């Protein structure tokens, strides 16, 4: 990514390919992060910025001007902290009907040894397949990543070059979203004077930050509870196996509290985060919490109710949420021994006792996922609510080949293998191990 470092006297010093910027545009907050990619260590955070977002509903841009404003303010704060001006960002999307599918393409090799040119041909065939699907469904392919190579039916071949084969195939994991919300998000970011390097599905980004590679290998579901949307990403065999989203989130708990006790939203939010819990405690019938009235002129001031009543309202909503999550997990085929582990993340995972609640509601073992893998992540972004933002940076640091972006080499280019999609993939794999 091209950036310019702000030096005294207004001189702009160009620094290419060293710095990445990420933007998590969520229903409750817009968060920006700038990090330096280090050759021998984790990305180093240079600056962060956060703004409350008022222009989104269920992860979708509902008010363009307010969204732009929050994006600009969050990024400006991060830029100031980093002393760097950013030109382009990787952005996450939480709403927009996320989904994923695996598609496969096969090419003939006719018995000779697979060459880099064959790999290039395969990846370009994959790209055509993805484009055809996009055209047919009208959806947007956010990322389309080649996963498993299959040489004459033998799957899991990491580097097929040099193998004798009749046929070569690849599984392509396509993450897709509804097109209009992605366009609106893209527009909001561009209106805030930033180029968009790419849009990543929120739960996919969060997964990159909270999962250990072995977990993704063995089978795990990441459930990211945002304010307006709960995203689900299922992993198995080290690759993304399914993606879904439920239009319900921790903001619904706040709304329920506000309704149940006739108190302002801001007070309900405070009640939830300060006194709320997903599990009941014996003292809850004795402990009282203060409920400010909606309109102070309208009757008695502060009421007091047993904490047990607050916990009951929270648990009623969580019952609904985890029933939906369980249905989605079943629909994604997350069952059996590989379907036992769930990682909860997103701001909603900060609620006291939610891991215990989820473990009993889902009948699975549940842990809370906090972002890891970045150096210097500020305290405020180190909780589950910071997972998506951190994951965007980690994905930018470990880019995968995206079939939506590769282009055939111009005709007549003689095989400088450094330019082929395949050799770039090999380079990326080498960097990871
Ligand atoms: N300590 C806490 N206890 C309970 N809930 C919390 C706590 N901290 C944050 N939350 C909730 O987490 C939600 C915000 O989560 P997050 O930042 O992941 O959402 P978002 O990215 O803005 O929204 P979305 O991803 O749905 O578009 C809010 O509803 C907030 O009330
Ligand atoms: Mg979010």
Please tell me the least confidently modeled range out of 37-46, 102-111, 362-371, 412-421.
412-421
Beta strands in 163-248, from DSSP E residues, in sequence order: 167-177, 195-201, 220-225, 230-236, 239-246
Triad 112, 115, 118: Cα angle to 5°:
95
15 beta partners: 3
Q: How confident is the model at residue 287 (pLDDT cuts 50, 70, 90)?
A: very high
Helix (H) or strand (E) run with residue 251 in it: helix 250-261
Q: Indicate the top mutation candidate among 385, 387, 388, 391 to test ligand 1's pocket, ranked by most ligand atoms within 8 A of CB.
A: 385
Q: Indicate the top mutation candidate among 91, 200, 225, 227 to test ligand 1's pocket, ranked by most ligand atoms within 8 A of CB.
A: 227
Structure confidence by residue, pLDDT tens digits, 199-247: 999 999 999 999 999 999 999 999 999 999 999 999 998 889 999 999 9
Structure confidence by residue, pLDDT tens digits, 319-347: 999 999 999 999 999 998 888 999 999 99
Span from the CA of 319 to the centroid of ligand 2 (angstroms)? 21
Number of the ligand 1 atom closest to the C-alpha atom of 249: 26
Q: How confident is the model at residue 425 (pLDDT cuts 50, 70, 90)?
A: low
Q: What is the pLDDT of residue 147?
A: 82
Residue closest by Cα to atom 19 of ligand 1: 226
Is ligand 1 within 6 A of the CB of residue 226? yes
In angstroms, the CA 355 to CA 351 distance is 9
Query: Which is more confidently placed, 182 or 398?
Result: 182
Span from the CA of 255 to the centroid of ligand 2 (angstroms)? 18
Please tell me the least confidently modeled range out of 326-330, 349-353, 383-387, 425-429.
425-429
Is ligand 1 within 6 A of the CB of residue 55? no
Please tell me the least confidently modeled range out of 61-75, 259-273, 416-430.
416-430
Residues 6+ apart with CB under 8 A from 79: 34, 47, 49, 85, 86
Residue closest by Cα to atom 21 of ligand 1: 26
Q: What is the crossing angle of helices 179-191 and 64-82, to 10°?
A: 50
Domain regions of the chain by residue span: 2-96+180-248+320-397, 99-176+403-432
Nearest to 3 by CA among 34, 32, 25, 48: 34
Is ligand 1 within 6 A of the CB of residue 348? yes
Span from the CA of 94 to the centroid of ligand 2 (angstroms)? 6
Give percent above pLDDT 90 in the chain: 71
Nearest to 100 by CA among 357, 365, 335, 328: 328
CATH superfamily label, 2-96+180-248+320-397: ATPase, nucleotide binding domain (3.30.420.40)
Cβ atoms 211, 369 nearer than 8 A: yes
Q: How confident is the model at residue 274 (pLDDT cuts 50, 70, 90)?
A: very high
pTM: 0.89
Structure confidence by residue, pLDDT tens digits, 361-420: 999 999 999 999 999 999 999 999 999 999 999 999 877 777 766 555 544 444 444 455
Query: Which is more confidently placed, 38 or 325?
Result: 325
Residue closest by Cα to atom 12 of ligand 1: 347
Cβ atoms 314, 348 nearer than 8 A: no
Looking at all shown ligands, the one closest to residue 226's CA atom is 1
Q: What is the pLDDT of residue 230?
A: 97
Say which CATH topology domain 99-176+403-432 has: Dna Ligase; domain 1 (3.30.1490)
Q: Indicate the top mutation candidate among 25, 56, 231, 250 to test ligand 1's pocket, ranked by most ligand atoms within 8 A of CB.
A: 250
In angstroms, the CA 53 to CA 309 distance is 30
Residues 6+ apart with CB under 8 A from 140: 134, 176, 177, 178, 179, 182, 183
Number of the ligand 1 atom closest to the C-alpha atom of 346: 18
Query: Cα-flanking dihedrals φ and ψ of residue 104, to 5°?
Result: -130, 140
Number of the ligand 1 atom closest to the C-alpha atom of 24: 21
Q: What is the pLDDT of residue 406?
A: 59
Span from the CA of 267 to the centroid of ligand 2 (angstroms)? 22
Q: What is the pLDDT of residue 13?
A: 39
Task: Give the tokens for residue 402.
Answer: 């995206």
The answer on pLDDT for 256 being more than 70 is yes
Is ligand 1 within 6 A of the CB of residue 258? no
């Amino acid at each position: 990514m091209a950036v310019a470092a702000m030096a005294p006297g207004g001189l702009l010093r160009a620094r290419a390919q060293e710095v990445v910027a990420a933007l998590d545009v969520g229903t409750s907050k817009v968060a920006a992060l700038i990090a330096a990619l280090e050759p021998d260590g984790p990305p180093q955070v240079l600056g962060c910025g956060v703004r409350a977002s008022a222009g989104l509903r269920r992860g979708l841009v509902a008010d363009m001007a307010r969204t732009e404003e929050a994006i600009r303010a969050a990024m400006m704060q991060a830029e100031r902290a980093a002393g760097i001006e950013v030109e382009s960002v990787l952005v996450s999307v939480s709403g927009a009907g996320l989904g994923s599918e695996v598609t496969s393409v096969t090419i003939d090799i006719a018995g000779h040894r697979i060459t880099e040119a064959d790999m290039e041909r395969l990846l370009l065939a994959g790209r055509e397949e993805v484009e055809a699907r996009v055209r047919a469904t009208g959806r947007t392919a956010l990322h389309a990543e080649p996963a498993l190579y299959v040489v004459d039916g033998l799957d899991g071949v990491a580097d097929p070059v040099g193998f004798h084969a009749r046929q070569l195939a690849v599984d392509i994991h396509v993450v897709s979203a509804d097109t209009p919300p992605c366009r609106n998000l893209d527009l909001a970011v561009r209106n805030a004077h930033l180029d968009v390097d790419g849009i990543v599905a929120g739960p996919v980004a969060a997964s990159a930050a909270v999962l250990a590679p072995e977990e993704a290998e063995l089978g795990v579901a990441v459930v990211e509870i945002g304010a307006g949307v709960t995203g689900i990403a299922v992993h198995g065999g080290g690759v993304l196996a399914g993606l879904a989203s439920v239009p319900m989130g921790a903001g619904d708990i706040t709304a329920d509290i506000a309704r149940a006790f006739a108190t302002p939203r801001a007070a309900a939010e405070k009640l939830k985060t300060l006194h709320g819990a997903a599990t009941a405690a014996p003292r809850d019938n004795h402990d009282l919490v203060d409920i400010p009235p909606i309109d102070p002129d309208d009757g008695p001031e502060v009421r007091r109710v047993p904490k047990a009543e607050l916990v009951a309202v929270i648990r009623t909503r969580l019952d609904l949420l985890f029933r939906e999550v369980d249905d989605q997990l079943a629909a994604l085929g997350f069952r059996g021994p590989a379907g036992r582990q769930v990682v909860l993340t997103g701001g909603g995972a900060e609620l006291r006792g939610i891991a215990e609640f989820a473990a009993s509601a889902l009948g699975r073992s549940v842990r809370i996922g906090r972002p890891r893998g970045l150096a210097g992540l500020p305290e405020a972004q180190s909780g589950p609510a910071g997972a998506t933002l951190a994951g965007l940076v980690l994905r930018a640091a470990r880019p995968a080949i995206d079939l939506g972006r590769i282009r055939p080499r111009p005709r007549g280019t003689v095989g400088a293998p450094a330019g082929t999609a395949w050799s770039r993939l090999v380079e990326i794999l080498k960097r990871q191990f």
